[in-house]
Amino acid sequence: MDNDSSFRIVAALRAWIAGSVPGARLPTSRALVAKYGASPVTVQKALRTLVAQGLIETRPGAGTFVRAVRTARPLDYSWQTAAMRSPHSRLSALSPALRAAPQGAIALHAGYPDRELLPERLIRSALARAARSDAALIRSSVAGLPELQSWFAHELGAATPVGVTPPLPSDVIVLPGSQSGLATIFRALVTAGRPLLMESPTYWGAIQAAAQAGVEVIPIPSGPDGPDPDALARAFQETGSRVFYAQPTYANPTGAQWSDAATTQILDVVRAHGAFLVEDDWAHDFGIDTDPRPVAARDDAGHVVYVRSLTKSVSPSVRIAAVIARGPARERILADRGAESMYVSGVLQAAALDVVTQPGWQTHLRNLRPQLRARRDLLLTSLREHAPDAHIATVPAGGLNLWARLPDATNLDRLVADCEAAGVMIAAGTSWFPAEPTGPFIRLNYSGPNPGAFADGARIIGQAVTSNH
């Protein structure tokens, strides 16, 4: 009899809960006793049942409430894909380089330098100063803070040889990181459905930005000295493309830096085809054995659209970059930026400018060089000793990465999983190819945390290579 009453109360309260909002308060026990004509014991039993079902919770001294999560039924979103149809391009949400590393893992997969390589003191005081300045309260123009535009223009101008007109501050458009600038440039200069030439392999984010912009990517093989100028010329001719995206300085992933002679030939090809070279100078501050030589410094006819990022060298959190473009191309890019994000946070722009104009910035960059060299060489010697089958064709003269080719029959997915199970995170090279990968490659970043573990990491990679081919 008691059980029947309890079931009756549970059923009635379930119906009441179904029609109420999370957090709604149930009537008191006394009110329930009166309402259902049941004993207090029966009412308590019914309430315990509902707590056990996760429908209500009691808060001592406050009462009994409807819980926020009331059902465990699987949710069905299949209507959404019917509404959206198949995507035009398949963007992957997470590149291997952006995966979070578990505690204690040896992280060689990521693209960003460890915080011990950042100018932490300069960043913290710059942010504090920016917070106190007018920049904290103003809206920047679409093109950016004039002082920061001047700094970017001046930096490239300082590398400009005699006889070439240096860029003006008004040629500079400040970006919230260069990634969104790449999508802008591809949308504005290539336009959806048209062909874009890209080095292969190349930065996975540029491949994603091209897919996002809906442009057709044409891979141009690129070796230790950059792309073959004749192959580039043929591709311009055959495809009708008028834009070539490349990283002439410490390319991600190969580390290649174009020689002066190669730069001259490639610029000639670009000019002869009335085309643009989009130069992604992401690693400008990471020279080790050489200095960066921006191709854009050699061009004043608007053929080179120059993208310069401070994200990795200043701080991933003070995410500032710039594009320098001349002529109508600059207007198209500016219009896209206005539509895309209107303007970049003045606080971040002021903080970035503060960091790069402190005398301590140059000292920081001078000290960074030997640190990167030591890390690069340590990872290289560790791999040569413990993973001799990982072949590194180019010792990068700068940048943050080693690019290693593995034996042909290597099962890359299994290799990455085996390394991860043994505590080493590495990035399969697959994402760096605009089309099919031309071999089994891995990218290893030597600027991550804990270089003391590089030898252990190399040993684990070596064992995984041996057992996966």
Query: Where along the sequence are the contacts to ligand PLP (CB under 6 A)?
Result: 111, 177-179, 203, 205, 247, 252, 280, 282, 309, 311, 319, 321
Report in angstroms how near the CB of residue 315 gets to ligand PLP at its nearest.
Answer: 10
What gap in Å lies between CA 199 and CA 262, rounded to an integer?
Answer: 14
Report in angstroms how near the CB of residue 307 gets to ligand PLP at its nearest.
Answer: 7
What gap in Å lies between CA 186 and CA 232, rounded to an integer?
Answer: 18
Complex with ligand PLP: residue 447 or 468, whichever CB lies closer: 447
Measuring CA to CA, which residue among 407, 410, 414 is closest to residue 391?
407
Report in angstroms how near the CB of residue 283 gets to ligand PLP at its nearest.
Answer: 7
Q: Are 188 and 336 in contact (CB under 8 A)?
A: yes
Complex with ligand PLP: residue 26 or 188, whichever CB lies closer: 188
Q: How far is CA 221 from CA 225, 237, 438, in A?
A: 11, 16, 10
| 324, β-bridge pairs | 172, 306
Question: Which residue has tokens 């942010």?
Answer: 127
Complex with ligand PLP: residue 56 or 321, whichever CB lies closer: 321
Locate 447 and state its tokens: 């600027």
Complex with ligand PLP: residue 282 or 433, whichever CB lies closer: 282
Complex with ligand PLP: residue 445 or 468, whichever CB lies closer: 445
Report in angstroms how near the CB of residue 280 gets to ligand PLP at its nearest.
Answer: 5
Complex with ligand PLP: residue 10 or 189, whichever CB lies closer: 189
Measuring CA to CA, which residue among 141, 223, 211, 148 is closest to residue 182?
211
Report in angstroms how near the CB of residue 334 gets to ligand PLP at its nearest.
Answer: 18
Q: How far is CA 92 from CA 96, 97, 244, 245, in A?
A: 10, 12, 23, 21
DSSP readout, 330-342?
A: HHHHHHHHHHHHS
Complex with ligand PLP: residue 55 or 213, whichever CB lies closer: 213
Report in angstroms how near the CB of residue 426 gets to ligand PLP at its nearest.
Answer: 16
Report in angstroms how near the CB of residue 270 gets to ligand PLP at its nearest.
Answer: 19
- What residues contact 167, with CB distance under 8 A and at least 6 apart? 153, 156, 157, 160, 296, 300, 306, 324, 326
Locate 124 and state its tokens: 């913290």
Cβ neighbours, 10 Å, residue 150: 17
- Please give the residue whose beta carbon sits closest to ligand PLP in the complex: 177
- Angle at CA of residue 154, ends 149 and 159, nearest 5°: 140
* CA 111 to the chain's CA centroid: 8
Complex with ligand PLP: residue 181 or 451, whichever CB lies closer: 181
What gap in Å lies between CA 431 and CA 143, rounded to an integer?
Answer: 32
Report in angstroms how near the CB of residue 297 gets to ligand PLP at its nearest.
Answer: 19
